[in-house]
Structure 1
Amino acid sequence: MSTPSRIRLAQCRTSRRTCDVPGCYNPSQKWGRYCEIHDDRCQRTGHPQGHTVGKRELSPYLSSVNRFIEEHEHHPAIEGACNVLQRLLDSARPKRVRSGEMAPWQRTNNWLVHLRENKVTPQEMLATIVAMFLYQELDPANFRSDRHFRHQLVVRLLRLAPTKRDHTTHFRQDRITVGVRDFLSERLCHSKLGALALRIAKHIAQDENKKHDFLRCDIDGYHVPFSHN
């Protein structure tokens, strides 16, 4: 017979367990692995040491992707991906369910409705997805784990629509839940859309690396032996 939750909680509080994050010696929160600070950060970003990727941070990668998409706008794969995203937006229907009872797919559906109502285009969505893959390709150290990357991908995608705020307090009312991030990222990253985004990102990254790798070149006379004086 399993130990009742209240007894387990009391045992955890008296066991003096510390946070699993290296270098953090704060006590673990309840019976979780992390302290309160790192547990909150894990809930918000997808990793206890992660950060939220902002618009400004993604901007240079997004610029490169937008140039690529403009140059290849009539490529069948680009057109096909935009058609898939357009159908996804068109098929979304608002789910009138009480907040606490919503399943992740219902919340995701309502987010897609929010994107459609705010005139977010499939091209913008595709560019954002590819830009996140490009960011990971060029600067992988900025992502603490695959889960951190996937969660931030969903955050940047859904934040293409304006933030809903309370008119009185101005606090954000549209928190992107962990369930939505897990649900949507799983389907994006393990689909042909995700595979295409990764393929485009690798193509752009290869070109970017060639531009910046200016010392990788031949030197005239490199193979001519030096004479002894």
Structure 2
Amino acid sequence: MTPLSRRLLAEFLGTALLVTVVVGSGIMAQTLSPGDVGLQLLQNSTATVFGLAVLILALGPVSGAHFNPVVSLADWWQGRQSGVGLTLGEVGAYAVSQILGGIGGAILANAMFGKAPLAWSTTERAAPHLWLGEVVATAGLLLVIFCLVRTGRTAVAPAAVAAYIGAAYWFTSSTSFANPAVTIGRAFSDTFAGIAPASVPGFVLAQLVGGVIGLLLVGGLYARPGADEPEPVTGDSLIGDSAAGR
């Protein structure tokens, strides 16, 4: 197991760069395609797909490339009985690193494009249909991740997870935040990808509900693995297994 300090650095860096990709590509999209929201979303989602896939490949062997408190919490929940995966204390440390990374990524993106480094978003995203979109997006994300782990197909995780998020940009009403750390980070940028601070709690709650639903669906599809099976997505179990097979 990689030392916790290195894993936390990987989670901080990965989440920071992910939010930088999301916010930065949103700012660039607004600049290149003013007035065309559909094209802006296409540019933003395309950059996110490629950026997320690369980050999972690069940092997965260190920390499991969660970049998401819901994924880290699910990792603990799935592994708590078999004694593998994150401890509850590590989940808290992961979440803090991810949230700080998300905020740092938004500040970095703002600064790169000449925006005020700290600017609260004014984009309201508070409505039942948007919360439903977040439930669907997060449940689907957990379903993709843990179904890949359960079936031993972690080699395709970078492409599969990135592809799902890219698709969910378009088929969910909320444009698939699906991540509390990213949601909090995006509140610090008053740009295309931003979310007003008042809208953050509703999104985070919906994401937690989606995480529970995702785990229930995985449990309904697959039996609980034995103690010797690499169920959680921490450390080497998500990316490391596939790397070892090359």
State the structure with bigger RCO (CA 8 A, min sep 6), 1 or 2.
2
The structure with the greater share of residues assigned to helix is 2
TM-score (norm 1): 0.28
TM-score (norm 2): 0.27
